[in-house]
Structure formats: C-alpha cells, structure tokens
Structure 1
Amino acid sequence: MTSKVRTTRQQGLTLLEMMVVLLIAGMAVALGFQSLGQWRRANAAISGISGAIQQTTLTESWLADSLRGLIPAPEQAFDGEADKLLGVTTLPVQSHQGGATDIEWSIRSEAGLPHLLLKEGADRRLDLPLPGVTRARFAYMDKEGKLHAQWPPKLGLHDHLPAVVLLNQEMDDGSRRVWAATISGSRNPYVNPFEDDYE
C-alpha cells in the first residue's frame, strides 16, 4: 500500500513579489504621466501654431477680397500710401456685400508688432494682428507692372485704381512674405454721356 503524501502549496504572493509588482507598476505610471505631459505640451504648441496659421490665412483672405472689390468712385478718389489706403469697395468684410462701402486699411504698431486695422463706413472697425511680422508696407503696381510706394504716383497720368495692391511683410526670421490682390473691376470711373437723359 502506498501512502499519499499531500503537499500544501502556499497561495498568494510573498512580500518580495508584491514589492516587485508595485515597483514595476509605479515605473509604468511614472512613464505614462511623463508621456502625457509631453503630449500636452506638443498639443498646445501645435494648437498655437494652427491658430496663428488660421488667423493669418483669414486676414489674408479678408484683405484680398476687400481690395479685389475696389471700384473707381468719382466722389472718393483712391489714396494709397505705404502705411494706409483709402477707397470704396463692393466686397466689405463686416457689411453686406454688393453696396459701395468706404474702407480704410492701415498698418499700426502695437508693442512693436504690426497690426492691420480695417475701418468700414463710419462705425465698423476690425483689428487684425500679423503674427511673426516685424514690418509691413503697402505697395501699388500699375498696369505696366511698375511698383509705386504711393497711389496715385507722383509723376505721370495713371488710372484711378492700381492694377494690384501688395502688402510686403518682413518676418521675424528674416524672410519676406508678399500678399497681392488684383483689382477685378474697372480701374477708372465709367462716364455715361447719356446720364442726364435718365434723370
């Protein structure tokens, strides 16, 4: 007859095994928090860059549309300088489109950073910062492709409106960026010789 010997095995973990498990779990949690912190910093940086790019794209689009809609209004001569331009547009940014609206785009400096300031009509204003820009200036191109610092140019006979309005920008990294808006309509007032007959 054989005797069966029962051996009892201990159930559970020893203190040493428990300490090893806790040490590994602690290292995993620490690495997880470190990765989460890096992810949050990277996400904040990407969001900041994305927001600046969206703002810059929107500013460029508004400026181009507003200038593209310039019309040669006889009662309001277009006046363009390096830091400001005045005109009449049919594509205002803040008003209903289609009607003639007086606009003024100007470059202002706040805390050493250039901003575009838009005035439409008598009471509408919009301040648009130019992130990453250290200096900005308007320039005006005639139909022959010559650039002028002001419009109308000092010498010669020129159209009421330039062919293209440019915004030259010097960036803080030393590069340059140019936004250009082509005037889409007529560049001179239309004179109707039979206008008196309609009244």
Structure 2
Amino acid sequence: MTSEFVAARQGGLTLLEMMVVLLIAGMAITLGFQSLGQWRRANTAISQISGATQQAALTEAWLEESLRSLIPLQEQAFKGSEEQLEGVTTQPVQSHQGGATPIVWSIRSEAGVPHLLLKEDEEEGQGLDLPLPGASEARFAYMDEEGRLHTQWPPELGLHAHLPAAIVLEQDMEDGSQRLWAAAISGARNPRFNPFEVDLE
C-alpha cells in the first residue's frame, strides 16, 4: 500500500503545488519587469545628463576659442553689453580659421532657457543657436587689466584698451549655483600702429 502511494506520488505535481510554482514564477517575472523599467528610466536620465553635459562642454569650447582669438582693429571697434558682443576673431567656429572674421555673440531666452546665438560673417549668413542646459539666466561681463568686471565694453569712464583682458559668461543655474565661463584674450588688446602705412598710401 505504501509503495503504491509512493509510485503515484512520483508521477507529477499536485494542483496545489503547481499553483504555488506559478505564483512564485509570476512574482519573479513581475519583479524582473519592475527592475527593467527602473533600469530603463535610470539609463534614459543618465543619457540625458550625459548629452546635456557634452553639449555644454562643446558650447563652452566654441565660445572660449572664438573669444580668446579676438583681434583689435581700428576700423571695427569691439562693443559689448550684458546681452551681446561684437568683434573680429581669427578662430571662427564655422568659417575658415586664420582670417579676420566678424562675429556677434548674443543671449536670448526661449521658454525660460537662455540660448547663445552666434553670427559669423554676415555676408554668408552663418549662425548657431546653442542652448545653455541647466541655466536660468546668462549675461556677459568684461574684465579689465586690473581684474574689475564691467557690464559693458568699453567701460563708461576712464582709459581702456580696445579689447578687455577677459570676457566672462555668467550663468545662474536652476539649482541656485553659478557657472562661469571665462576666455582671456590671448593676443594684443590694442591696434598696432604701422609707421609705414602712410608711405604705402
């Protein structure tokens, strides 16, 4: 009698055991899908942060390269305010590098996000629209040789060079912090006088 019961028992699972197995498997699959969803959301967030960081780094590099290569020209004075600056650079972002290229960097806000706008060589109509991710406000400031910041260039009073010593892009971030991008002018800051120009004319 006992051997017959054991033989019948070895034949398969009871309905109750099958239900327990299916319940455990269902719980495991549910937990797996939840973990997968969390991983996907985390991966998407990391990708967005990484993309925004790369975009900000590229924008900073373009701005710094363009501004540190500004050159002073007597016939085209450098002008700067908190919202816009105009000058001539030898390192344009889109045009051929090495030649003197007029540039205009300006700031505008779109849907609460400040954007950097770049115009190069107005005859060709080239331009870039570069958002500043994570920033709520942005403005230019101009540093003189003594390290003082001015909201415009040329400054209102006193003697000044044709170009500032450095240009700073101040950014107020959404988290309350401040991000500063600075570009020091690498070349001469005043036009050079050539005494032979009169003879050539």
Give TM-score scaled by structure 1 length.
0.91
Q: Could you tell me which residue of structure 1 aligns to residue 149 of structure 2?
A: 147
Residue identity opposite 2:132 in structure 1: L
Candidates 7, 10, 16, aligned match of 1:9:
7
2-side partners of 1:50 and 1:140: how far apart? 31
Q: Could you tell me which residue of structure 2 aligns to residue 175 of structure 1?
A: 177
Q: Could you tell me which residue of structure 2 aligns to residue 3 of structure 1?
A: none
Alignment map for 1:79-158 (pairs within 5 Å):
79-122=79-122, 123-158=125-160
Could you report, residue by residue, the CA deviation over 1:32-76 in whole angstroms, capped at 9, with x for unpaired residues? 001001111111111111111111111111111110110112221
2-side partners of 1:173 and 1:24: how far apart? 45
Q: Could you tell me which residue of structure 2 aligns to residue 187 of structure 1?
A: 189
How far the C-alpha of 1:106 sits from its partner, in A, is 0.4
Residue identity opposite 2:115 in structure 1: H
Identify unmatched segments of 5+ residues in structure 2. none
Residue identity opposite 1:9 in structure 2: A
The DSSP-based 3-state class of the residue aligned with 1:39 is: helix
Residue identity opposite 2:56 in structure 1: T
Q: Could you tell me which residue of structure 2 aligns to residue 19 of structure 1?
A: 19
How far the C-alpha of 1:29 sits from its partner, in A, is 0.6
1-side partners of 2:39 and 2:103: how far apart? 44
2:30 equivalent to 1:30: yes
Residue identity opposite 2:165 in structure 1: A
The DSSP-based 3-state class of the residue aligned with 1:9 is: helix
Q: Which consecutive segments of 4 or more residues in structure 1 shift more than 4 A?
A: 196-199
Q: Percent of counterpart pairs with the same letter?
A: 71
1-side partners of 2:155 and 2:136: how far apart? 26
Q: Could you tell me which residue of structure 1 aligns to residue 48 of structure 2?
A: 48
How far the C-alpha of 1:141 sits from its partner, in A, is 0.6
2-side partners of 1:102 and 1:167: how far apart? 19
How far the C-alpha of 1:161 sits from its partner, in A, is 0.5
1-side partners of 2:179 and 2:104: how far apart? 22
Could you report, residue by residue, the CA deviation over 1:58-101 in whole angstroms, capped at 9, with x for unpaired residues? 11111111101101122211001111000000111111211111
How far the C-alpha of 1:127 sits from its partner, in A, is 0.6
Identify unmatched segments of 5+ residues in structure 1. 1-5
The DSSP-based 3-state class of the residue aligned with 2:73 is: coil
2:167 equivalent to 1:165: yes
Alignment map for 1:46-85 (pairs within 5 Å):
46-85=46-85
1-side partners of 2:38 and 2:47: how far apart? 14
